[in-house]
Structure formats: C-alpha cells, structure tokens
C-alpha cells in the first residue's frame, strides 16, 4: 500500500489487516515503554489546511511512538487564499525530506490530487478531505467496534449500526458507510431529509428520517458533529429543533440495548447532537475512540512506510 486516500480503495482483507496491525501495535506499546524504533529516520509531515487539533495530535503521537520525525505545517485557509498552491507547498515539504504527508484539506479530493498528480513521490494519508472521506476515522471506529464486540472479528455481519446527523456534509459518514458495508454491518443513516444526499438509495444502506424508529435494535449509535452554520443555509431551523429530532438525549439513551455503544468522532457539541448525560454515560466510547485513533494511525503509518510485516517485528522486538 503506497497511500491511504479512501476506504473505497481498500479491500475487506486490507481493512482487517490494518485493524490486526493496530491490535499488535497496541499490545506492543501498552507497557511502560510506549515507543517502538520502527520508523526511526523517517519523516512524517502533517500538512493541515484546516484547524484540527485532535487529528493532528493523534497523527503526531502515532508517528512519534514509531520513532519517526514529525513536522507540522499548518496553513489555515485554502491554498488559493494563501497564495501558494497545494502543489508548491507539497513539493517544498518533500524537498525538505518528507517520506509521508498526512493531509487535511477543505477541498474534497485534495489528498488524491496530491498523491496522483505526479507532483510528489511521498506516500500520502488522507486525514480528511472536504466532505469526501476521513479514512483513518472509519478505521479507528471499526477498531473501537471490534474491541467492544470481539477483538478478532473479521466481519461485522449481524451488527446494526446507526449513523445519525449531517450525512450530506460528513466525511466521517462517507468513510464509515464504505467500511461498515465492506465489513458486512447493517447500517442505517438517520438525518432530516435536507442533510441526506438525494441519491442515498445508491449507497446500499438503509436510511431514515426518524431517530426514534427501531432505536432499541441498534448495537452502535454513531453521532455526527453538526455544524451550527448549517442553520444559516436553512438545512434546519435551529439547534433546539435539531436536538429534539436528532439529538441523543437521556430518553433516547435509555431506550438503547444494554450492550449498545455510543460513538462520536469529536469534537462534540454537548446539548446539540448529544446530551452531556449521553456523552458521559457508560455506553459512551468516545474517549476510547481517541486512544484507538493513535494505534490505528500507527498501523497506517507502519504499513505505508513499508515496515516489515508485523509478526516479524514482533519477534525482533520480543528478542
């Protein structure tokens, strides 16, 4: 694997491979020594054109735990408003020795353009491109689901998963739909009609406008962050109405199955899409998602930068 741009590019086998690698790396780094020497001498650049402290920190931690050097480049706003093109920025960073570029960009497809336009040789990880995909988020979500429902699962067949919120603009939803379908889960997307793509039937999943319908059946309820500015574009009237219809409040939380989990990619709007009670409940695995994010990103970096296969590393490290 040279790049990680989209869940659409991955086979079920590759997805499970990344999750298994993450499991191994988690075991290896769970002791008092959290660092492996695997990527010593390699340079990872975090190229962030959007504010995202948590994703950047997660990639930074992942790279450092594998002993890679990390450079952070934050360019707020688009390449256009900044005056320098994406191409020039990337070529500059590569000239400074980047082996892998982690890119977060407001334009859908930016990671793919960076990887496939012949601009640079480096590997590229998509850390979120516009409203397209956020593949490492979907992988860490899958890792979290696996930890909860069976850490060696190679299929999610039989799991009922709801994704609730602004599907239309969510890269997290797109990546998760692709991944969860490949893994055989039964996925339902729940949103007001304005926030579901009009062609949702072509996604091969269920969709519903009603959060209260069949709420008792879900094993996983994944809440999406709602951008308040969507109100200004009339996607919904106001936060209160959104919250009533599509927020995970205490009443809805109580109706969930006893072993169901509540997920959220963060950062949460408490009181909007998720109540404090839900966010802090024992069903919530939001904090686990954050720690799982680091090991899953370690696995991605590890696979892309051509580390030896994980079992041989295991032996080397164990020796």
**Distance (Å, rounded) from C-alpha 230 to C-alpha 193?**
13
Q: Which residues pair with 206 in a beta bridge?
A: 188
Looking at 34, 35, 54, 240, which residue is catalytic?
54
Asked if 277 is part of the footprint of other proteins (rule: CB under 8 A), the reply reads: no
310 SS3 class: helix
**Distance (Å, rounded) from C-alpha 317 to C-alpha 104?**
33
**Distance (Å, rounded) from C-alpha 292 to C-alpha 296?**
6
Q: Does the annotation count 144 as an active-site position?
A: no
Q: How far is the CB of 31 from other proteins (least distance, A)?
A: 40
Beta carbons within 8 Å of 37's beta carbon, 6+ residues apart: 67
Looking at 104, 146, 169, 225, which residue is catalytic?
104
**Distance (Å, rounded) from C-alpha 220 to C-alpha 20?**
21
Q: Does the annotation count 112 as an active-site position?
A: no
Q: Which of 110, 190, 205, 310 binds other proteins (CB under 8 A)?
A: 110
Q: How far is the CB of 108 from other proteins (least distance, A)?
A: 4
Site for other proteins in 178-217 (CB under 8 A): 197-200, 202-203
Q: Which of 91, 108, 154, 291 binds other proteins (CB under 8 A)?
A: 108
Q: Which of residues 136 and 144 has its CB atom nearest to other proteins in the complex?
A: 136
Q: Which of residues 29 and 78 has its CB atom nearest to other proteins in the complex?
A: 78
Q: Which of residues 165 and 247 has its CB atom nearest to other proteins in the complex?
A: 165
Tokens of 134: 């956020």
Residue with tokens 């072509």, as numbered in its chain: 202
Asked if 78 is part of the footprint of other proteins (rule: CB under 8 A), the reply reads: yes
Q: Which residues pair with 123 in a beta bridge?
A: 100
Asked if 80 is part of the footprint of other proteins (rule: CB under 8 A), the reply reads: yes
Q: Does the annotation count 225 as an active-site position?
A: no
Q: Which of residues 231 and 277 has its CB atom nearest to other proteins in the complex?
A: 231
**Distance (Å, rounded) from C-alpha 290 to C-alpha 275?**
19
Looking at 43, 55, 136, 188, which residue is catalytic?
55
Phi, psi of 43 (to 5 degrees): -115, 125
Site for other proteins in 123-182 (CB under 8 A): 129-133, 168-169, 171, 174
Residue 69 · residue 44 · CB < 8 Å: yes
Asked if 227 is part of the footprint of other proteins (rule: CB under 8 A), the reply reads: no
The CA distances from residue 13 to 16, 48, 66, 182, 318, in Å, are: 5, 30, 24, 10, 26
Q: How far is the CB of 84 from other proteins (least distance, A)?
A: 11
Q: How far is the CB of 89 from other proteins (least distance, A)?
A: 11
Residue 55 · residue 289 · CB < 8 Å: no
Q: Does the annotation count 104 as an active-site position?
A: yes
Q: Which of residues 84 and 241 has its CB atom nearest to other proteins in the complex?
A: 84
Residue 278 · residue 262 · CB < 8 Å: yes
Looking at 2, 82, 240, 255, which residue is catalytic?
82
Q: Which residues are near other proteins by CB under 8 A?
A: 8, 78-80, 85-87, 105-110, 112-113, 116-117, 129-133, 168-169, 171, 174, 197-200, 202-203
Catalytic residues: 54-55, 82, 104, 134
């Amino acid at each position: 694997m040279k790049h990680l741009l989209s869940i659409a590019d991955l086979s079920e086998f590759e997805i499970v491979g990344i999750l298994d690698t993450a499991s191994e790396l988690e075991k290896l780094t769970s002791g008092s020594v959290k660092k492996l020497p695997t990527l010593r001498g390699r340079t990872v650049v975090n190229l962030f054109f959007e504010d995202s402290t948590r994703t950047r920190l997660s990639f930074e931690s992942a790279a450092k735990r594998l002993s890679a050097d990390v450079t952070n480049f934050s360019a707020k706003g688009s390449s256009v408003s900044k005056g320098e093109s994406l191409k020039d920025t990337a070529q500059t960073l590569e000239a400074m020795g980047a082996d892998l570029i982690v890119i977060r960009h407001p334009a859908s497809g930016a990671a793919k353009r960076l990887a496939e336009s012949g601009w640079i040789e480096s590997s590229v990880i998509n850390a979120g491109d516009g409203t397209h995909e956020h593949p490492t988020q979907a992988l860490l979500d899958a890792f979290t689901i696996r930890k909860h429902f069976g850490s060696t699962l190679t299929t999610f067949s039989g799991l009922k998963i709801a994704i609730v919120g602004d599907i239309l603009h969510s890269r997290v939803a797109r990546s998760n739909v692709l991944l969860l379908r490949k893994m055989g889960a039964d996925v339902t997307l729940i949103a007001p009609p304005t926030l579901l793509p009009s062609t949702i039937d072509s996604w091969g999943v269920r969709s519903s406008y009603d959060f209260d319908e069949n709420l008792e059946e879900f094993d996983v309820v994944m809440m999406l962050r709602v951008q308040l500015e969507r109100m200004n574009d009339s996607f919904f009237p106001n936060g209160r109405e959104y919250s009533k219809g599509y927020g995970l409040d205490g009443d809805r939380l109580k109706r969930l199955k006893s072993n169901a989990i509540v997920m959220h990619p963060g950062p949460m709007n408490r009181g909007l899409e998720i109540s404090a009670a839900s966010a802090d409940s024992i069903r919530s695995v939001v904090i686990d998602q954050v720690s799982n994010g680091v090991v899953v990103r370690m696995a991605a970096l590890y696979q892309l930068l051509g580390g030896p296969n994980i079992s041989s590393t295991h032996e080397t490290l164990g020796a």
